[in-house]
A and B are shown apart, each in its own frame.
Chain A
Amino acid sequence: MSLKLEEKAISSKQQFEPLIVAFCCNWCSYAGADLAGTSRLNYPANIKIIKVPCSCRVSPNFVLRAFQRGADGVIIAGCHPGDCHYSTGNYFTRRRFTLFANLLEYVGIEREKFKIEWISAAEGNKFATVMNEMLDSINKLGPSRKLRDGRWIRQQ
């Protein structure tokens, strides 16, 4: 009996396919993701990218919405501080989301599940590495149910 339970637990764990929403700025990180593509690097299909003009366009509302609608992780990727196409946009991102990450942690979303990364257009490698690492840690932590809408059902 206990063996069966364990098996069940294992199979349900294997079924856990995390969903990660990545907000990428048009000038650096989106191009970095393109470079990961042109260099044929591999990262898991669980990561899905939304293009924004600048990382500072990302509102905390979008992040909350993603967690609410079933995302297990959210990542915001922008140009390196100092390299912003709009000169100062990513500084705002950094400040806003440093505070916001604290709030998320307080409500029970682990640090590993919400990240801000600086990925330049030349860092295809970094893009793939960051995504692979993020997926690894989310796989270990399991689904994010804390902010999830109760009515949400994963459609396969």
Chain B
Amino acid sequence: MPRIGAFVCWCGTNIAGTVDIEQVVQAVSEMSGIVYVKDYQYMCSEVGQNLVKTAIKEWQLERVIIASCSPRMHENTFRKAAKAAGLNPYLVEVANIREHCSWVHKNKEEATKKAIALIRAAVAKASLNTELIAKEIDVENRALVIGGGIAGIQTALDIAEAGYQVDVIEKSPSIGGKMAQIDKTFPTLDCSACILTPKMVDVASHPNINLYTYSEIESVNGFVGNFEVTIKQKARSVNLEKCTGCGICTEKCPSRKSKSEFDEGLRTRGAIYTPFPQAVPNVPVIDREHCLKFNTGKCGICEKLCPAGAIEFGQEDVLVTKKYGAVVVATGFDIIDLDKFGEYQYQNHPDVLTSLEFERLTNAAGPTAGKFIRPSNNKRPEKVVFIQCVGSRDVSSRGKSYCSKICCMYTAKQAMLIKDKYPDIEVYVFYIDVRTPGKNFDEFQRRAVEEYGVNYIKGMVGKIFPAGDKLIVHGVDSFTGDTLKIEADMVVLAAAAQAKPDAEVLGRKLAISTDTNNFFTEAHPKLRPVETHSAGIYLAGACQGPKDIPETVAQAGAAAAKVIGLLSKRKLVSNPCVSVVNEDLCNGCLSCLKICPYDAIAAKELATNNHGITSKRIVAKVNEALCQGCGGCTVACRPGAIDLKGFTNKQITAEVDALCH
């Protein structure tokens, strides 16, 4: 029996409030193998860690049990402390008596009993622990950023500036994302394009950044430091190197039926098009669905006119496989479909717009060249109604239960922009609550009300009736209880932000999890906001949850810092808890090989010498660099020849026995 020392943490009153520490210490000291028990208020503090280190040396401890918070919180802290005292870090076991005990139980007697049982299980496991030595793995010195919006752009620039190679994948033909569509940004009313486009140019011209536009992730393999990603470059039908971006092809294209994605469908575009004039790369793409050449075989005008000979109808999708050390997911958000919100007439009336459409409508580079007119009759509206929380904070199945966070501010901004240019237009805003936390945000919204005279009405809109060329908005002012009828010329809906529809699929490829709303989940809501549970994969921007531009940029910088930290390491320490084959027991059935998701198991020929007769047989062999330690093979193994280090059959059985004490 090894010499075991146990350390019981009070965690202030977090544990000591519900668990009788004295009783626990008494019970633990009687367990077999225990030679030393110590309790302290905060084991994780420097003093607490020193207690552990000193005891290891003074009592020649061979195993250490820490009864404290979750191992997800401080296992590493104590492993490091043990290592500093000369003990193999994998001889430390943590009994989770906070999250799994004191915080979930109220009865002190029961909680104390359970804490003792959990420590008994940890002692049982620890006495079977063996010294494990982590191996070193190489780190590929390149990062991948998925998504070319402001989050991806900022992340890529920050990583590239630190001297590492970055590849940026963007699904659409140009980088820029949602921010490129926006007219002005709150709360400073900066022109969005003026602050974004220089960054886009920086990305394109940076020697360390490589752009893959009009591309998607096909598959992701590997693990931290060594991801192998296959990128599908969709056929652009235009040669990126040859094209000069003169724009003749886009002007002369006879097909004009497709709606411009960039202008939210408010304008049509040709089948060969550049999403917007400042696009990066400024190279058009052929929309094969609408191109006459691809549909009828006739036309080919662009090919004839192109002075650079860049049009290539024969292009095909190309698959590129590259290795990366780290991946940042920055895929952004979408706004919800409004087809379930029939009462707002969005589908039926051209003057009912989403906020994003409104951005294009007021943009100087937009479909109306910045003239504020109604899409139905090209006249200037006299009354505009904004409706907030369309689908946000909506617990019915048609909406989203969360607050989309950005709508209060952009609605105030849009209302203010109207009043600034056209003070005579009456502007109404229907809201549930105005939520404006953020630097200078509340002041901004108040300016809209106090300086610009925007009419804020607390209440929801019941229905909108089109009458002639007017939209009659029926709403309720919930302060007075009055029903209101506003004859509006234009209605703008602040539709809820939602996760990208393909977020789940991408999450699956990357093996990162999504929450109930399909936003990617961070590793810890407070302390690890940009990391995922998969090491080496980070999050930036609205793909993790709705957020505004400053927050997105901050998170992008944080993700970049994490990536730089990872890539700056020449070697990574690998998880030593990997599978190991007992060759004497292995019968070579290779069931393990078939189920290993990492191809970490291979067949190996073993020559045995039996009284001078050499015979050969096949056994399984684990590649420790590839094995991630899931343990699936251990259960598939019929003769029980494979075991998982750190979670051996004996260890888990001992834990079961101890818990059923």
Q: A residues bordering B, Cβ < 8 Å?
A: 19, 21, 27-28, 30-31, 33-34, 36-38, 40-45, 48-54, 56-62, 65-66, 69-71, 79, 82-89, 92, 96, 120-122, 128, 152, 155
Contact = CB atoms under 8 A, between A and B. Distances in A.
A42 B630 contact: no
Most buried by B among A34, A43, A70: A34
Nearest to A41: B104
Contact of A45 (B114, B595, B632): B114
Contacts of A53: 577, 629-631, 644, 647
B119 to A, nearest CB: 11
A65 to B, nearest CB: 5
Contacts of B513: 28, 79, 83, 120-122
B657 A65 contact: yes
Most buried by B among A36, A49, A71: A49
Contacts of B213: none
Interface size class of B (residues with CB under 8 A): 35 or more
Contact of B533 (A38, A56, A85): A85
A126 B133 CA distance: 37
Contact of B659 (A28, A36, A50, A58): A50
Given A34-B70, A62-B652, A54 B635 contact: no
Given A34-B99, A37-B98, A48-B118, A57 B630 contact: yes
Nearest to B70: A34
Nearest to A149: B660
B661 interface: yes
B99 A45 contact: no
B595 A92 contact: yes
Contact of A57 (B106, B597, B647, B660): B647
B511 interface: yes
A11 B96 CA distance: 33
B105 A42 contact: yes
B104 A85 contact: no
Nearest to A27: B533
A66 B534 CA distance: 31
Contact of B649 (A54, A61, A89): A61
Contacts of B70: 30, 34, 37
B655 interface: yes
Given A21-B659, A28-B513, A89-B630, A43 B647 contact: no
B508 A121 contact: no
Contacts of A84: 511
Nearest to A122: B515
A121 B106 contact: no
Most buried by A among B101, B104, B644, B652: B104
29 contacts: A28-B513, A37-B98, A40-B103, A45-B101, A56-B630, A56-B635, A57-B630, A57-B652, A59-B634, A59-B649, A59-B652, A65-B653, A65-B656, A65-B657, A66-B656, A69-B657, A71-B656, A79-B513, A83-B514, A85-B511, A88-B595, A88-B597, A88-B632, A92-B595, A92-B635, A121-B533, A122-B515, A122-B521, A155-B661
Contacts, number: 148
Given A45-B105, A86-B628, 14 more contacts: A34-B72, A38-B99, A45-B114, A48-B114, A48-B659, A50-B652, A57-B630, A71-B659, A71-B660, A87-B597, A96-B635, A120-B521, A122-B515, A128-B104
B107 interface: yes
B653 A61 contact: yes
Interface in B92-117: 96, 98-101, 103-107, 110-111, 113-114, 117
Nearest to B507: A83
Contacts of A61: 649, 653
B103 A86 contact: no
Contacts of A92: 595, 632, 635-636
A83 B121 CA distance: 29
A33 B69 CA distance: 12
A128 B507 CA distance: 26
Contacts of A49: 96, 100
A48 B534 CA distance: 26
Nearest to B221: A87
A57 B511 CA distance: 18
Interface string B623-661: 000001111101110000000100101001101110111
B99 A66 contact: no
Interface string B60-82: 00000000001110000000000
Nearest to B515: A122
Contacts of A51: 71
Contact of B100 (A28, A34, A88): A34
Contacts of B655: 50
A45 B660 contact: no
A121 to B, nearest CB: 6
Given A41-B104, A66-B660, A121-B513, A48 B96 contact: no
Contacts of B100: 33-34, 37, 49
B599 to A, nearest CB: 12
A14 B634 CA distance: 40
A56 B660 contact: no
B104 A52 contact: no
Contact of A43 (B104, B507, B649, B657): B104
Given A36-B104, A66-B660, A57 B98 contact: no
Most buried by A among B103, B511, B653, B660: B660
B188 interface: no
A65 B658 CA distance: 11
A66 B654 CA distance: 10
A38 B631 CA distance: 28
B516 interface: yes
Contact of A42 (B96, B106, B661): B106
Contacts of A28: 513
A60 to B, nearest CB: 8
Contacts of A85: 511, 533-534, 630
Contacts of A69: 656-657, 660
B114 A62 contact: no
Contact of A89 (B515, B632, B656, B659): B632
A52 B118 contact: no
A155 B659 CA distance: 11
Nearest to B505: A82
Contacts of A60: 635
Contacts of A82: 508
A88 B117 CA distance: 32
A28 B534 CA distance: 12
Contact of B631 (A40, A57, A65): A57
Contacts of B634: 57, 59
Contacts of B595: 88, 92
Contacts of B577: 53
A52 B653 contact: no
A118 to B, nearest CB: 11
B635 A59 contact: yes
Nearest to A17: B110
B656 A40 contact: no
A42 B521 CA distance: 24
Listed from nearest, the 9 A-B pairs whose CB atoms lie closest are A37-B99, A57-B631, A69-B660, A86-B630, A56-B632, A37-B103, A45-B110, A54-B630, A34-B99
